[in-house]
Structure 1
Amino acid sequence: MIMHNPPHPGEILREDVLPELGLKIAEVARRLHYSREMLSRILNGRAPVSPDLAVRLERAGISTARLWLSMQTAYDLWQAEHREQPPIERFSEVA
């Protein structure tokens, strides 16, 4: 199965969630008790959604913490799989 580049979860927040809420970044940051600067970095894909932010989003009624973290993990894993990695020698199976 080929996995296509998943979107950064911050992009989903920026493009889908915030417009639906009709709120500006500063207001969302205030309500989440989160730094406006850090939230902006996340929304622009320059920082990951942390477990703390995921819990705050869930408590604010914006999906579940597990969903936000699974989207972040999918994004991070895809990025890692597409970066150059050193040659890795497989471990032999242990009986």
Structure 2
Amino acid sequence: MEAVARATGGAVTAGDFFPSGELARTYGLAETQAPLAAEARALGLDPDAIAAKAIQDAIRAEKARRWQEENRAALDAQNAWIEKHGLPLAKHRMF
């Protein structure tokens, strides 16, 4: 399922394949998180959707962190150029 999420950029996730509640049972969250899930349901929240969203957010954050790490040299070079030469077309800025 993670491969599908990676290949689709998070557009398709495990939550799309499992009915409500089954995602937690599949990944073994039911026993460890049952009290929290029950409380969330009692408050009218959907713990499965919340968990799926949190996983998606964590994946996106990790992808962003890795991209920045992989491109650090280019980012640093661009920042150094801007410090030395200023922003291109800065004279046309209205603010």
Which of the two has greater helix per residue?
Answer: 2
Q: TM-score, normalised by structure 2?
A: 0.36
Q: Which has the larger radius of gyration?
A: 2
Relative contact order (alpha carbons < 8 A, sep ≥ 6): 1 or 2 greater?
1
